[in-house]
Structure 1
Amino acid sequence: PDDYSDGYVSSGFPPPKFSLAGKKNVKLLVIPVNFADRKISDKLYSQAQVAVAKGEGFYSFNSFGRVNFDFELLEKNSWIDLPMDYGFYEQQWSSGAIDVTQFLLDQVKDYKASNPDAITWLFPEGKYKIVQRPFSERTKEFRFGNSVLPAARVYGLHENLESIGINGFDHGVGHALYSFEDLYIFAGYSLSGKAEQPGNGWDVMIGGGDFFAWSKWIAGWLKDEEVYCLRNTQDLQTIYLRSIHDLVGRKLLAIPLGNYEILLGEYRTNATNATLAKFGLCENDAVRPCSNYPNSGLLLYKLDTKIKHGAAPFRVAQLFEDELLKVTFSNCV
């Protein structure tokens, strides 16, 4: 099957061209869209408010608090309220003659806040057929207010779009902000003919979890000095890795296997409720753990950047529910 990434998503260095890697202040705008016959329900709006707030905390937590994220869901008085039924617009959009993204951006009312770095959409639940005018993700830009945004950072319009609420918000934001690629297997690459999620639970770009430490490094959240880069030799070496959640110390083991492949290791364990509460990811008085790793230990995985987008460039040694490799605890950094 074709590689639909058009070169703007990647799991390797340097970061993709349109990634916000290294930026210290990042603003995301979520724009709701209503049609005359399809409206965002109060329930969906409430769910979106929670998801956007928790999404901001999720990215702040994964960046170790080193990035100031500002996720904004447009207030109702600024929503896009299209006057006709959805069928009218589907007929207009089906030929691809209308630039749907720019059309929708032009409908936003009275938005006077600071210019966003990226935009995503919130549609009423249902199926949509949106044929975009052909363009290259590398070169296309969209106007919004006084700003110009690359197409890679205006995310969420697909030819066959099915809005099922706010599910997958954090995943979509990964595309919009950092050009993270999908890490699950597309149906066209899968032996079963269906999309598969090997390693689900370890990275939100597979389907759920936090982020691989490697992805945190690409995004600029993990510092160079927090990574062990070792040569691929048979010599015995002793290293000390800190938890992936620790603010200090080395947290990622990287052993290059060639120009395109690398073996990676990180220590996964649950963050404390107190830590998660600082980012709005846990109630202050929660009794049960808010982090849900079933086991603690060393997670090993391999990245092959030659593998096309959609064919799962990461290979993970353990399933989410598996026992991880046991490590010796130490106070050494």
Structure 2
Amino acid sequence: MLPQPSRRRISPRRLAALASVSALTLALCTSAGNGRLSPGAFAPGAGPSALSRTSAHGPCMIGGNRSVQMSEGIPTAPGYTRSTGTVRALTLMVDFSDAPGEGDALDRYREFFPQTREWFATSSYGRLDYRPEIPVPDWLRMPKSFRAYGIERGAPFDPGYRELVRDIVAEADPEVDFQDYDLLNVLVTPNAGPAALDTVLSVTFAGNKEAPTADGVPVANASFVYSRQDDGSGSYDRTGYRVLPHENGHVFGLPDLYTAEGGGAVGHWDIMSEDWGANNDFLAWHKWKLGWLDASQVGCAAGRGTREYVLTPLALAGGPKLVFLPLDAHSGYALELRTRAGNDEAVCRPGVLVYRVDANVDTGMGPVTVFDSRRDSGGCTRAPNVHAELSDATFASGESFEDREAGIRVTVLAAEERSYRVRVTRASAAP
């Protein structure tokens, strides 16, 4: 674990819960060609859409050891849901005798849609057509009370959780053909379990070899959402839905970027770190992993010497988005331009974001670290319950990032409305 100092106003119980669920997501199975869950035994599937790359990107194709459960390596390992094209999300609203759904089940559905679909459309530049479907528009009542399942921290491999999945399948199967869907969203009535500010129960699990089957396919690709996240200001209606894009990020193969210390390593620069408070997109590295960037939009700065690159705002379609500087076969630095637009509506200091990606660090253990250009400034966002320190981490015109040991220097040369120009200097080529 690589903890970072955290100033988040968040309860100790919740931090413990975050750490406990950080390594619960495994690869799921899809079959090539149709995007459906693989029938029969557990086996690697099609995985995300093919990564756009050229031979020049070879040195930047970092990878993790096999022991890493969910690696930041490129390309994403086989077995995850496709992240481009049409993806059908089976969405079920579930309640219990001791936690009956309050109001219409469709009201629960509307807490997350159409916002989640729009969030993915914006982040992917239209390359992901995310379609939530509700074949059962009412509350799906479970045969046992919530308390009887013994779910405390969302651990999907606990016996109680496996029993819950089996019961969901049994109750939904008469009206649902599970072969028709790419992933499962279970929207649990929010009065089941504690509030999210106390303990996080929301969790995603996939690729579980012991997952029950339905219609001949394993239900091994599921996100469970309980109480929504809040930034402490009562902003549920505006920000609460983002817990679902975070959980679905795991379905596409992305790891948790927070640690037991909270969002101190990445802050709100990626929804896989903090999905409440200030709005946040995916990092450019993640967009490349997900197939949302073309090879022409990714620069691989692996050679010795000095070279200049142009970066355009990550939130806007088109133009170069990412420069990667490999350090070794497992890690490197990433550069991208973040401005206030799209899913980055709350960026308070536009500029070049510099972060290190380590494919050998597991989910929830700090696989990405953002470098702060303004250390101990307190940040520029004032949203409550958010790790504010890194909100002004970006590098502005005339500022530089340097790793003397690696012989790397990055300088922001010029900042224009639609592009920034950076100079990358390497004392030696990547090994």
**TM norm structure 2:** 0.60
**Aligned residue for 2:184?**
119
Counterpart secondary structure, 1:299: strand
The CA deviation string for residues 40-86 of structure 1, in whole angstroms up to 9 with x for no partner, is 22388535414231011101111110121112345434x42124533
Residue identity opposite 2:103 in structure 1? D
Aligned length: 294
Q: Distance in 1 between matches of 2:263 and 2:420?
A: 39
Match 1:148 to one of 193, 208, 217: 217
Q: Report % sequence identity.
A: 20
Counterpart secondary structure, 2:112: helix
Alpha-carbon spacing, 1:37–1:116, altered in 2? closer, same or farther (3 Å): same
Q: Distance in 1 between matches of 2:224 and 2:206?
A: 16
Alpha-carbon spacing, 1:57–1:136, altered in 2? closer, same or farther (3 Å): closer
The CA deviation string for residues 84-135 of structure 1, in whole angstroms up to 9 with x for no partner, is 53344449x985596431331221152369711011211222328xxxxxx9
Tell me, yes or no, if the aligned pair for 1:115 and 1:147 is still in contact at 8 Å: no
Alpha-carbon spacing, 1:136–1:26, altered in 2? closer, same or farther (3 Å): closer
Match 2:146 to one of 72, 83, 86: 86
> Is it true that 1:180 corresponds to 2:254 in the alignment?
yes
**Aligned residue for 1:241?**
311
Give the superposition deviation at 1:5: 5.0
Tell me, yes or no, if the aligned pair for 1:31 and 1:122 is still in contact at 8 Å: yes
Match 2:324 to one of 244, 254, 261: 254
Match 2:125 to one of 61, 64, 68: 64
Residue identity opposite 1:204 in structure 2? I
Q: Distance in 1 between matches of 2:88 and 2:166?
A: 20
Counterpart secondary structure, 1:27: strand
**Aligned residue for 2:85?**
24
Alpha-carbon spacing, 1:304–1:121, altered in 2? closer, same or farther (3 Å): same
**Aligned residue for 1:51?**
112
Tell me, yes or no, if the aligned pair for 1:15 and 1:21 is still in contact at 8 Å: no
Residue identity opposite 2:167 in structure 1? F
Tell me, yes or no, if the aligned pair for 1:30 and 1:122 is still in contact at 8 Å: yes
Residue identity opposite 2:171 in structure 1? Q
Alpha-carbon spacing, 1:314–1:44, altered in 2? closer, same or farther (3 Å): farther
Q: Distance in 2 between matches of 1:89 and 1:139?
A: 20
Which stretch of the first structure deviates more once superposed, 39-48 or 167-176? 39-48
Q: Distance in 1 between matches of 2:109 and 2:161?
A: 31
Counterpart secondary structure, 1:106: helix
The CA deviation string for residues 252-273 of structure 1, in whole angstroms up to 9 with x for no partner, is 11111110011100011122xx
Q: Distance in 2 between matches of 1:320 and 1:82?
A: 42
Across the aligned residues of Structure 1 and Structure 2, the Cα RMSD in angstroms comes to 3.4
Give the superposition deviation at 1:295: 1.5
Give the superposition deviation at 1:14: 2.5
Tell me, yes or no, if the aligned pair for 2:354 and 2:394 is still in contact at 8 Å: no
Which stretch of the first structure deviates more once superposed, 64-73 or 298-307? 64-73
Q: Distance in 2 between matches of 1:147 and 1:238?
A: 53
Q: Looking at both structures, which has the greater relative contact order when contacts are Cα pairs under 8 Å and sequence separation is at least 6? A: 2
> Is it true that 1:164 corresponds to 2:224 in the alignment?
no
> Is it true that 1:202 corresponds to 2:265 in the alignment?
no
> Is it true that 1:105 corresponds to 2:169 in the alignment?
yes
Tell me, yes or no, if the aligned pair for 1:32 and 1:74 is still in contact at 8 Å: no
Counterpart secondary structure, 1:121: strand
Give the superposition deviation at 1:11: 1.4
Which stretch of the first structure deviates more once superposed, 196-205 or 307-316? 196-205
> Is it true that 1:325 corresponds to 2:403 in the alignment?
no
In structure 2, runs of 5+ residues without a counterpart are 2-19, 27-67, 152-156, 195-204, 230-239, 373-389, 398-413, 422-431
Tell me, yes or no, if the aligned pair for 1:240 and 1:332 is still in contact at 8 Å: yes
Residue identity opposite 1:86 in structure 2? F
Match 1:292 to one of 346, 358, 373: 346
Q: Distance in 1 between matches of 2:312 and 2:206?
A: 42
Residue identity opposite 1:26 in structure 2? V
Alpha-carbon spacing, 1:310–1:332, altered in 2? closer, same or farther (3 Å): closer
Alpha-carbon spacing, 1:41–1:8, altered in 2? closer, same or farther (3 Å): farther
Counterpart secondary structure, 2:114: helix
Match 2:337 to one of 259, 267, 272: 267
Give the superposition deviation at 1:198: 2.8
Residue identity opposite 1:223 in structure 2? D
Tell me, yes or no, if the aligned pair for 2:257 and 2:263 is still in contact at 8 Å: no
**Aligned residue for 1:286?**
none
**Aligned residue for 1:314?**
368
Tell me, yes or no, if the aligned pair for 2:142 and 2:168 is still in contact at 8 Å: no
Alpha-carbon spacing, 1:70–1:58, altered in 2? closer, same or farther (3 Å): same
Q: Distance in 2 between matches of 1:181 and 1:112?
A: 29
**TM norm structure 1:** 0.76
Tell me, yes or no, if the aligned pair for 1:263 and 1:302 is still in contact at 8 Å: yes
Give the superposition deviation at 1:12: 1.1
Tell me, yes or no, if the aligned pair for 2:92 and 2:186 is still in contact at 8 Å: yes
Tell me, yes or no, if the aligned pair for 1:299 and 1:325 is still in contact at 8 Å: no
